[in-house]
Amino acid sequence: MESIKIYLTLFATSIKARMEYKASFLFYVFAILSFYAGQFGLLFVLLGRFHEIKGWTMGEMIFLYSLHAFAFGFTNLIFSQMVNFDKMIIDGDFDRVLVRPLSPLGQVIFSKFEISTAAHLIIGSTALYFGSHLANIEWTLYKTLLFPVIIMGGVMIAGGIRLIVTSVAFWTLRNRSLVHTVIFSSKEFINYPVNIYNMGMQFFLTFIFPIAFINFYPAHFFLDRSGDGLLHPALEMGTPIVGIIVITVSIFSWKVGVNHYQSTGS
């Protein structure tokens, strides 16, 4: 119970620190919204010209994007500190984390919550509304109950990948280029249906680097597109299972990294 109070204190302190610079906070929210607006603009231009992408209509594409925005929005909210974790190691801040009688991972996560990523959730909610309407999704009770489970699975996948990349810093110290390549650049692959890529890339995004489970596979269930363009129909329900596998592997890699850690002496 005492440790929970400490984590909540860290959480509250993180929010207060972020909100201290309101202009910076509002500018960052505006930048995120502008970025997504640009991506939506490109999507509208493409669909306005070609009407569909690999059989996916405007509404279906917007819904696909909503799953993407929700998953990465919550991931950025929870795992934002992982992006700059290498700086904690280089500056010696991680040494202080290890001497406290709390989980090192919990301390790192609760030390920073990027609440400005609420912009992602605004975009996700907007895309969900319009995507559902344009794609004529029938929201049954089963679909409604499954939706947060799918989002949670997507967060475990995206967050787990982020944690694995973070763990590399225990050996390399700096991993900034890897962070930008694996965490930020790679998510562009799922802005569009994965079946637009060749079979080799589909296999990679499904079984090696499984970000296709964040939105592409579960979208088939909600859109009633079962089996259409899938490597196998059963994959559309695999997001929670893949999420558990990825987050388990990531926690193991983190623990191995912590055991390997040697202070930089800063």
Render pLDDT for 13-36 as a digit per residue (tens, 0 to 9). Answer: 766 666 666 676 677 777 777 777
Whether 142 is in a domain gets the answer: yes
Give how many domains the chain has, as a whole number: 1
Q: Which residue reads 């974790």 in tokens?
A: 85
Which of 160 and 86 is assigned the larger pLDDT? 160
Whether 183 is in a domain gets the answer: yes
Whether 133 is in a domain gets the answer: yes
- Domain interval for residue 16: 2-260
Bridge partner list, 53: 56
What's residue 2's pLDDT? 62
Whether 62 is in a domain gets the answer: yes
- Using an 8 Å Cβ cutoff, are 142 and 232 in contact? no
Whether 250 is in a domain gets the answer: yes
Whether 90 is in a domain gets the answer: yes
In this predicted model, what pLDDT tens digit does every residue of 28-64 receive, in sequence order?
Answer: 777 777 777 777 777 777 767 767 888 888 899 999 9
Whether 266 is in a domain gets the answer: no
Question: Which are the contacts of 245, defined by CB distance < 8 A and separation ≥ 6?
Answer: none
What's residue 91's pLDDT? 85
Whether 265 is in a domain gets the answer: no
Which of 50 and 259 is assigned the larger pLDDT? 259
What's residue 264's pLDDT? 64
- Using an 8 Å Cβ cutoff, are 29 and 118 in contact? yes
